[in-house]
Amino acid sequence: MSFLTQISNIFSKKQSAQLVGIALQQKSLGLCIIPPSDKSMSSELESIEEAILKKRNVESFDYASVIKDLNNKYPFSSKCHLVLNSVQSQIVQVDKPNVPKAEITSALKWQIKDLVSISPENMVLDYFDGPVLAGGIEKINVVCSPLNELKKIVDVLNTGSSTVASITIEEFAFANLLPAQNDACLLVCQQPNEEIVLLIVKQGKLYFHRRLRGFSQIANKTEDELAITVIDSLALEIQRSSDYFERQLKQAPIKDIKVLLPINLEGFFARKLSENTHIPVTLLALPETYQEHREYAAAIGATMFEVRVTEQVQEIMNVS
């Protein structure tokens, strides 16, 4: 799913083969540039020889200025895929409006106005379907962002020969990193100084998502601090999420947990989490040559939007 597809359509221009992923974080910005290649997009992601990975600090959420400086130094002549974090985006789940499809977006602005801190007049939103709950209740997940702030960033990116191809959120950028598989997988993901997000992905579809609070500084924790407090708390949240997945969504139990945390103790964290949850826990694998660049996972996952679209088209063609 590409969040805010209307924005990308409005500002679309002619696009080249270069791929750019930009992940906005609370205090910084991560950039991943994959140069043009004659190889398939999947193969491009396996090669980092010429890829550019940069991180910049951001003051007062002035992302536009930082992006402009990066664009001057490493010119974007490409499709740009933008990832919003929890500060620039809000997610709420509501009953699906009983209106024609073309009117859903307009109806949602007023349906969620008391649930988010963004006014309807300054709100740009998109939505994705949630799994049907027990009893046949149909829910949708609404993602919204402040238009005035987003437009500044889009205007900077849509200069010269670059264009915004998609705007998404961390949840989907992380999910893009997981190969399609039939069994459900629970992901524990984080980027530097961000909160942890829990995801449950099955057959390439996001079944469950939750943004946790209080875990943004786990990179500074010792092994004892992780084992005694952090992992116990996280294991409890995982159990609650798994129970919801099984009981409310009527799904088979989770049998696989993958971790993506850009911290020195990531391996220790995974082992201790497996002991607490009694479920196998492994590290979420990035494309091979990116394994040591896990702090750029959201930006890398954003570029894989192209790969996922290609896979979906191929799947449709194979079925037909």
Domains in the chain: ranges and CATH = 1-177+292-320 (3.30.420.380), 179-285 (3.30.420.40)
Ranges 8-17, 71-80, 154-163: which has the least confidence: 8-17
The pLDDT of residue 164 is 93
DSSP assignment, residue 132?
A: P
For residue 130, pLDDT over 50 is answered with: yes
For residue 151, pLDDT over 60 is answered with: yes
- Mean per-residue pLDDT, 293-319: 68
- Mean per-residue pLDDT, 88-104: 90
16: CB partners within 8 A, 6+ apart: 36, 77, 78, 79, 161
Alpha-carbon span 32 to 83, nearest angstrom: 12
The pLDDT of residue 65 is 96
DSSP assignment, residue 131?
A: P
Pick the closest to residue 150 from 287, 1, 311, 8 (CA basis): 8
For residue 194 the two structure tokens come to 């961000």
260: CB partners within 8 A, 6+ apart: 174, 177, 187, 188, 189, 190, 283, 284, 286, 294, 297
Ranges 138-142, 199-203, 255-259, 260-264: which has the least confidence: 138-142
Band the pLDDT of 12: cuts 50, 70, 90. Answer: very low
For residue 210, pLDDT over 60 is answered with: yes
